[in-house]
Structure 1
Amino acid sequence: MLDNAVAVTPAPTPLLRSPSFVRLWTGTMASGVATWALPFILGLAVLDRSLTGVGLGVLLATRTVGFVAAMPVAGVLADRYSRRKTVLWSGLTAALATPVMAMSLERSLLVAAAAAFVMGAGQGACRPAFQALTAEVVAEPQRQQANAAITLAVRVTTLVAPTLTALLAVAVSTPVLLWGVGALWLVAALVPPPGNDSPPPSTTRPNILADFVDGLREARRHPWFVAGLAALTAVIATGYSATFVVLPLVSRDRFGSEAVLAAAMTTYTIGALVGAMIIARWRPRAQGWSALAGLALYGLVPLSLLLPVNPVVIFAAYVLAGIGIELFNVPWFTATQREVEPAKLARVSSLDFLLSYGLAPVGLALIAPAIDQFGATVVLAVCAVVCFAAPAAAAVVPSSRGFSASHGKSNARLQ
């Protein structure tokens, strides 16, 4: 009887009972909150006159330059050596730069800008490494749930953190708040667990550019990735940028206060929370098409700002956009971790962040002159069309249906 018994595979450990995932989740959340908090705290510094508006622009710009400059290099290093060590050193870099900014904020804009550059480099370096480390720590069947849990935590924090930070600002100074950001970066650096499958150090030591180009070739092997990344970049460069520029103007000129601006951003975050909760358990058959449809929902935002509608319609558009962006983000990250060759995952992830979020400021820089030249109505209409059309065009690529190879076989299964 025992000889005929069927072996039963034990159920995987629930994610929140896995010490390794809890450590990964904590570190990733800390890095996300630290990334979000810096612009908000620097905005408070402008309000208390410890920083000028020009200084704020300089610090945010130099942080973005550091982010973009570090991203491709960090992807190569995380693939060539260890994802965990890349997370460690990038987090420590940002953590050490934060108190330098805090101490120089009212003394030297040049020193503060240099610190902002280093902080941006640390932020950019940790993003692809965290993506690859997630694939090492979490088994493939649980990665979608893991990615949803991570983004859910960041969204919850960004929803409640502005109020908490504003309350803290009443009791403590801006430099103290910046020291708190440094503490978050320390958590991001020290808490995450070691990975299981970090690649061994390279013996040939090719140059960084050659390694990055090799990552580009890996990305091109996945048509769904190229198409999806093009769609995501188009939506962020047009829809995100236009609404960040136009929403404050609509709130002020059409409705006479900043209340619509604050409420719209809050409803967007609430929508993202809902989207993360939905996608944590929902497994649509055509996962790629569902994700791209979610991305296209952002087109409702410029459309709502274009039309003379009640503020409730604008809030509804932001809720749907928030839901849609997580219906895209979580399957997108999960598919990348599943389909891309593990030894090149960090480089492909760095390309993802570099083109989508890293270059978003370029869209912001171009939108304002476009509005001055053609008017907000024309710009918003074009942006809405792009937000709907770009994901639709990406969906035409055959492998986009499931964010997978044409026969549904991932690299993880083939190896």
Structure 2
Amino acid sequence: MLREGSFLRLWAGTTASGLATWAMPFILGLAVLHDAITPTTLGLVLATRTAGFLVAVPIGGVLADRYSRRAVVLWAGLAAALASPVLAAGVGRSMAVMAAAGMVIGAGQGACRPAFQALTAEVVDPERRQQANAAMTLAVRITTLGGPGLTALLATALDVTALLLGMGLVWLCAALLPPRGKPAPDASDGAAAGFFEEFAEGIREARRHPWFLAGLGALTAVIATGYSATGVVLPMVSRDRYGTEAVLAIATTAYTAGGLLGALVIARWRPRSQGWAALAALSCYGFAPLSLWLPVPAALVVAAYVAAGVGVSLFNVPWFTATQREVEPRLLARVSSLDFMLSYGLAPVGLALIAPAIDAFGPGPVLTVCTAACFLAPAAAALTPTARHFSRR
């Protein structure tokens, strides 16, 4: 598919947005290491970025259904690109400027996510969307796997300001590279209806698909519990149980490598009951908190993270493909925004609550609850009518 010009441009634009999204916290982390900013400033900027993301996701979904999906990607990417030099200018000078720029960048990130999802459905024909979504996932995993090393290498020759300016150029690529999709619909009716009425229409469309609501609930539960718990507990277990930070680094890399493997598999695999297969794969994330809870050898922790990475990719690709296939096209961006708003939006809430819960109850009970949630939530979703095939038909 990468030989086709329109899809290649879409793939490159999506990859650029993913790279820029990942790069910001890593570059600012380097700024902390170089004493250019404080950890408090880092936390504030990342918090405002998350706030901007959460506010912009539903707005971007409505705008992408009201106007051209390509136009929403363009303006969202340009906003993030223009805010990047402002962020660079604030490093070491103004926390307020950095926080404001971080919010704009987060808004650009949030607005383009549902628009990219809907644009994929416009550019790629239905028979090849699973392969297209697998290619997108593959690009994200490759970026995550190779990005830290590349950024660290660039940091030997460039300072933090230059790296943030480079991030702005990547956002510019995300804005300009994607191809045109279908012509924009007549926006007069939507503009007259108002934002809340239009977003409510997207919610009603989501409710027409029981498999979507059940799958979204399972995904949100896994991210809010398993993902958050492993993010907080893995560094502690690596240090206290195994006496080395190597387990942290290897397990994190193993998760990304597993995601890469899962994307390669799902590009070709078409399970007969794709919904059940995807939910079973999602439940594999439970092996990650389980391995941190039980006193197992380090190799099993790494294996658990590989399984978690594979499982997430085997879920995400059929999930995105089914959403693009089943949801009414004119409402696709709004439904996708609901997906990103809940699944990704609740991750910071989980991270904020896990640490106090561990302090209050200890890591054992918290990991037990998180493991149970990761296994049981997808199983419960699988019992929902229409979940077997991720389809109402």
1:197-242 deviation line (CA, Å, top 9, x unaligned): 5433233521101110110000000000000000000000000000
Q: Could you tell me which residue of structure 1 aligns to residue 261 of structure 2?
A: 274
Q: Could you tell me which residue of structure 1 aligns to residue 11 of structure 2?
A: 25
Is 2:337 aligned against 1:350? yes
Is 2:230 aligned against 1:243? yes
Q: Could you tell me which residue of structure 2 aligns to residue 359 of structure 1?
A: 346
Q: Could you tell me which residue of structure 2 aligns to residue 71 of structure 1?
A: 57
SS of residue paired to 1:167: helix
SS of residue paired to 1:283: coil
Is 2:210 aligned against 1:223? yes
1:338-373 deviation line (CA, Å, top 9, x unaligned): 000000000000000000012210011111111111
Shift of 1:380: 0.3
- 1:83 corresponds, among 69, 72, 92, to 69
Q: Residue type matched to 2:272 in 1?
A: R
Question: Within 2, Cα distance between the matches of 1:267 and 1:246?
Answer: 16
CA contact 1:75–1:129 (8 Å) conserved in 2: yes
SS of residue paired to 1:116: helix
Query: After superposition, where does 1:147-166 map in structure 2 within 5 Å?
Result: 147-166=133-152
Q: Could you tell me which residue of structure 1 aligns to residue 34 of structure 2?
A: 48
1:377-409 deviation line (CA, Å, top 9, x unaligned): 00001100000000000000120000001xx3x
Task: Specify every segment of 5 or more residues in structure 1 that has no aligned partner in the other structure, as ranges.
Answer: 1-14, 409-415
Question: Within 2, Cα distance between the matches of 1:204 and 1:298?
Answer: 40
The TM-score normalised by the length of structure 1 is: 0.94
Q: Could you tell me which residue of structure 2 aligns to residue 260 of structure 1?
A: 247
- 2:325 corresponds, among 338, 349, 360, to 338
Over aligned residues, Cα RMSD in angstroms? 0.8
CA contact 2:57–2:341 (8 Å) conserved in 1: yes
Question: Within 2, Cα distance between the matches of 1:291 and 1:378?
Answer: 28
Question: Within 1, Cα distance between the matches of 2:363 and 2:386?
Answer: 36
Q: Could you tell me which residue of structure 1 aligns to residue 44 of structure 2?
A: 58
Q: Could you tell me which residue of structure 1 aligns to residue 108 of structure 2?
A: 122
- Counting aligned pairs with the same residue, the percent is 67
- 2:86 corresponds, among 82, 95, 100, to 100
SS of residue paired to 1:398: coil
Distance 1:197 1:395, change over 3 A: farther
The TM-score normalised by the length of structure 2 is: 0.99
Question: Within 1, Cα distance between the matches of 2:185 and 2:346?
Answer: 29
Query: After superposition, where does 1:190-339 map in structure 2 within 5 Å?
Result: 190-196=176-182, 198-203=184-189, 205=191, 206-339=193-326
Q: Could you tell me which residue of structure 2 aligns to residue 184 of structure 1?
A: 170
Question: Within 2, Cα distance between the matches of 1:404 and 1:155?
Answer: 27
Q: Could you tell me which residue of structure 1 aligns to residue 99 of structure 2?
A: 113
Q: Residue type matched to 2:48 in 1?
A: T
CA contact 2:68–2:182 (8 Å) conserved in 1: no
Question: Within 2, Cα distance between the matches of 1:166 and 1:235?
Answer: 31
Q: Residue type matched to 1:70 in 2?
A: A
Question: Within 2, Cα distance between the matches of 1:277 and 1:90?
Answer: 30
Q: Residue type matched to 1:59 in 2?
A: V
CA contact 2:13–2:173 (8 Å) conserved in 1: yes
1:75-112 deviation line (CA, Å, top 9, x unaligned): 00000111000000000000000000001111100000
CA contact 2:66–2:190 (8 Å) conserved in 1: no
Question: Within 1, Cα distance between the matches of 2:40 and 2:3?
Answer: 47
Question: Within 1, Cα distance between the matches of 2:259 and 2:11?
Answer: 18
1:306-345 deviation line (CA, Å, top 9, x unaligned): 0111110000000000000000000000000000000000
Is 2:346 aligned against 1:374? no
Question: Within 1, Cα distance between the matches of 2:221 and 2:292?
Answer: 19
